[in-house]
Structure 1
C-alpha cells in the first residue's frame, strides 16, 4: 500500500471498507445514503464532520485515519504505538490485579503528586510522558489500594478514578475506543464508590465525549443530560464544584446536540452552561476538568460552527478573549473551530495562519484531530502549494 497520507480520502475509505463490506453495507452501518458513500469513495464533494464521524464509527476507526492525518494502527508512529500499549497494559493489568514484580508502590502523597503531573501533561498534549504517568499511578495505585483501609483507601480510589478517566480520554483521542470504554468503566465504578457526586458527574462528562467521538450522538446527549439532572444546582447557593460539574455536563450536551443539528437544544444547554459559568465567575480546574466563563465563550464558537452558523461564530470569536492561563488543548481546540469558520467565510489567509499557530503550539495533539484535515481541504481549493507548505511546517498531512 502507498504511504497512507498520500492516498486520497476516497481511496482511504475504500481501503478501510475492504472487500468484505459493500458500499451499501457501509452506508447502512453508518446511517448515511449509498450516494454519499459512492461520492466519498470517488472523491466527489466534501464530507461534513458529521458524515466523517459516522463513517469512522462504521469502519471502526478514527476520523483522523480517514483524513490521512493518522495511519491505521499498524501504520501508527512507533511513539504512539508504545504510548497506547503502555496505557492498555496498565488499564488491563490494574483491573486484573496483575502487578507481580512491581515492588513497593508509591505512597498516597506521591501518587497524588503524580496524578497532578498527569493531568498537566494531558492538557499539554504530550502523550509519551502521559502514558508513563498513567501506567505508574494505575499499577502502583491499584497495588496499594488492595491493601489500604479507611481514609487511605478512599483517597486512593479517588486517585484511581481520575487516572482511569484520563486513560479513557487519551485512548479515544488516539482512536482506541474499546480501550476508552474499558477505562471509563473502571473510572465510573471507583467514582461511584468514592461517594463524591461531583467526581462521578465529571466521569460521566468524559463518557459523553467518548460517545460523541464514536458518532453515538444521541447517547452522548442522553449521558450528559442524565448526569446533569442528578447534580443540577440551585444557582443562588450551589457550591463551586457542583456548578463546575453541571456546567461541564451542559457543555457536553450542547456540543453533542449541535453535532446532530439540533439548534434549539444546543442553545438551551449552552444557556445553562453560561449561567453556571457566570455564577462560578472564574475559570477553574477540578479533578482534571476545565470549566468557567472562558469555556462557555469558546465552546459557543464551536457550537455555532457545528450548526453551520459561521458568521455568528466569527462574531463571537471577535469578542472572546483568551486568558494567558488558559490550558493549551482547550485553547487550540477553540482555534481550530475559528480556523474552520474563517475558511467558510473565505478568509483563507487568516485560516491558514490560525492553523499554523495550532500546529506549532500543540504538535503532538494536532496530529490526532480531524479538523486540520477538513481545513486543509478547504484551503487547498485556493492553493495546494500553501497547504503542502503548512503540512510540512506543522508535520501533519493535510491533503493527498
Structure 2
C-alpha cells in the first residue's frame, strides 16, 4: 500500500472498508445513504464533520485516520499510550479493590486538591499529568473510602466520582471508549451512593459525549434530555450547581442534535443553555466542569457550524464580547472554539483568516491539536485555494494537514 498520507480521503475510506464490507454495508452501518458513501470514495464533494464521525465509527477508526493525519493502528504517541495504560490500570484496579500496599493514603483535603489538579491538567491537555494525579486519587481514595463513615465517606465518594469522570473524559478524547465507559460506571455508582443529583447529571453529560464521539447521536441526545428532565430547575429557585449542570446538559443535547442536523431541536436546547447562563450571570466551575455565559456563546458558534449556518456562526463570533475571551477559559475550550470559527471562515471564503486562526490554535496548543479532526478538515478546504499555504501551516504547527 502507498504511504497512507499520500492517498486521497476516498481511497482511505475504500481501503478501510476492505473487500468484506460492501458500500451498501458501510452505508447501513454508518446510518448514511449509499450515494454519500459512493461520493466519498470517489472524492466528490466535501464530507461534513457529522458524516465523517459516522463513517469513522462504522469503520472502527478515527476521523484522523480517514483524513490521513495518522495511519491505521498507529494511534497515539508513546507517552500518551503509556499514560493511558497507567490510567487504565488505576481505573480497573481501584474499582476491583486491588490496592494492596497503600498503608497511608492521602487525606481527604489532599485527595481533593489532587482531583482539582487532575481536572486542570485535563483542560490543559497534559495527559501524563492527568494520569499521574487521577491514578493517585483513585488508588489512595478507594483505600480511604473503604474505611470511611458518615460525611467523610460521602465527600470521598464525590471526589472519587469526579476523578473517574476526568479519567473517562481523558480516555474518550483518545477514542478509548471501553475505558471511558468503565470509568463512568464506577463514577455513577459512587454518585448514587453520595446521593448527589448534580454530580449524577454531569456524569450523564459525559456519557452523552461518549455516545456522540461514537456517532451514536440519538442516544447522545436521549441521555442528555433524560438527565436534564431529572434535574430541570425552576429558574427562580434553582441553586447555582443545578443551573450549571442543567446548562451543560442542554449544551450536550444541542451539540448532539446539531450532528443530526436537527436545527429546531438544537436551537431549543441552546436557548435553554443561554437561559441557564443568564440566570448564573457569570462563568462558574464545579467538579471540573465550566459553564456560564462564555460557554453558552462559544458552544452556540460550534453548533451553528455543525448545522452549516456559517454566516450566523461568524456573526456570533464577531460580537465584541467574543473577541477577547476570558483568561479563565481553558486552553482546550478556547481552541476548540477557534477551530469552529476557522471552519466557518473557510465556508465563507475567508481563507486567509481561517489559516491565521488555525495557526493561532496550533501554536497555542501544539500537543492537543494533533489529536483533533477539525484541523485536517480545515486544511483540506484551504488546500483547494493554496496547497503551499497549507504546507507552510503544517510545518509551522507540526501537524500534517494534507498529503
Q: In which range does the TM-score fall when normalised by the shorter chain?
A: over 0.9
Query: In 1, Cα distance between the equivalents of 2:101 and 2:28?
Result: 49
Alignment-derived partner of residue 357 in structure 2 = 354
Query: How far apart are residue 2 of structure 1 and its match?
Result: 5.2
**Which ranges in structure 1 are unaligned for 5 or more consecutive residues?**
none
Alignment-derived partner of residue 237 in structure 1 = 237
What is the DSSP-based 3-state SS (H/G/I as helix, E as strand, rest coil) of the residue aligned with 1:369? Answer: coil
State whether structure 2 residue 174 is matched by structure 1 residue 174. Answer: yes
State whether structure 2 residue 81 is matched by structure 1 residue 81. Answer: yes
Query: In 2, Cα distance between the equivalents of 1:90 and 1:5?
Result: 35
User: Following superposition, which runs of at least 4 residues in structure 1 exceed 6 angstroms of deviation?
Assistant: none
1:1-400 → structure 2 map (5 Å cutoff): 3-319=3-319, 320-321=321-322, 322-400=325-403
Query: How far apart are residue 90 of structure 1 and its match?
Result: 1.3
**What does the per-residue CA deviation read over 1:21-57, in whole Å, with 9 as the maximum and x for residues that have no partner?**
3333222111122332233233332211111111111
Query: How far apart are residue 376 of structure 1 and its match?
Result: 0.6
Q: CA, structure 1 residues 124+224, in 2 after alignment: closer, same or farther (shift >3 Å)?
A: same
**What does the per-residue CA deviation read over 1:89-113, in whole Å, with 9 as the maximum and x for residues that have no partner?**
1111112112234453222221111
Q: CA, structure 1 residues 22+277, in 2 after alignment: closer, same or farther (shift >3 Å)?
A: same
Asked whether the 8 Å contact 1:70–1:367 carries over to 2, the reply is no
Query: In 2, Cα distance between the equivalents of 1:209 and 1:266?
Result: 15
Structure 1 window deviating more from structure 2 (128-137 vs 263-272): it is 128-137
Query: How far apart are residue 305 of structure 1 and its match?
Result: 0.8
**What does the per-residue CA deviation read over 1:173-215, in whole Å, with 9 as the maximum and x for residues that have no partner?**
1011121112111111111211111111111111111111111
What is the DSSP-based 3-state SS (H/G/I as helix, E as strand, rest coil) of the residue aligned with 1:373? Answer: helix
Structure 1 window deviating more from structure 2 (291-300 vs 132-141): it is 132-141
Structure 1 window deviating more from structure 2 (164-173 vs 17-26): it is 17-26
CA RMSD in angstroms comes to 1.6
Query: How far apart are residue 73 of structure 1 and its match?
Result: 4.1
Asked whether the 8 Å contact 1:127–1:364 carries over to 2, the reply is no
Query: In 1, Cα distance between the equivalents of 2:177 and 2:112?
Result: 27
Query: In 1, Cα distance between the equivalents of 2:388 and 2:59?
Result: 31
Query: How far apart are residue 79 of structure 1 and its match?
Result: 1.4
What is the DSSP-based 3-state SS (H/G/I as helix, E as strand, rest coil) of the residue aligned with 2:297? Answer: helix
Q: CA, structure 1 residues 308+105, in 2 after alignment: closer, same or farther (shift >3 Å)?
A: same
Q: CA, structure 1 residues 146+18, in 2 after alignment: closer, same or farther (shift >3 Å)?
A: farther
**Which ranges in structure 2 are unaligned for 5 or more consecutive residues?**
none
Query: In 1, Cα distance between the equivalents of 2:176 and 2:4?
Result: 19
Q: CA, structure 1 residues 269+359, in 2 after alignment: closer, same or farther (shift >3 Å)?
A: same
Structure 1 window deviating more from structure 2 (183-192 vs 342-351): it is 183-192
Asked whether the 8 Å contact 1:70–1:368 carries over to 2, the reply is no
Query: In 2, Cα distance between the equivalents of 1:72 and 1:91?
Result: 27
Query: How far apart are residue 341 of structure 1 and its match?
Result: 0.4
How high is the TM-score relative to the length of structure 1?
0.96
User: Greater relative contact order (Cα 8 A, min sep 6): structure 1 or 2?
Assistant: 1
Query: How far apart are residue 19 of structure 1 and its match?
Result: 3.7
Query: In 2, Cα distance between the equivalents of 1:182 and 1:212?
Result: 17
Query: How far apart are residue 3 of structure 1 and its match?
Result: 4.8
Asked whether the 8 Å contact 1:106–1:141 carries over to 2, the reply is yes
Query: In 1, Cα distance between the equivalents of 2:266 and 2:165?
Result: 25
Q: CA, structure 1 residues 2+179, in 2 after alignment: closer, same or farther (shift >3 Å)?
A: farther
Structure 1 window deviating more from structure 2 (245-254 vs 361-370): it is 361-370
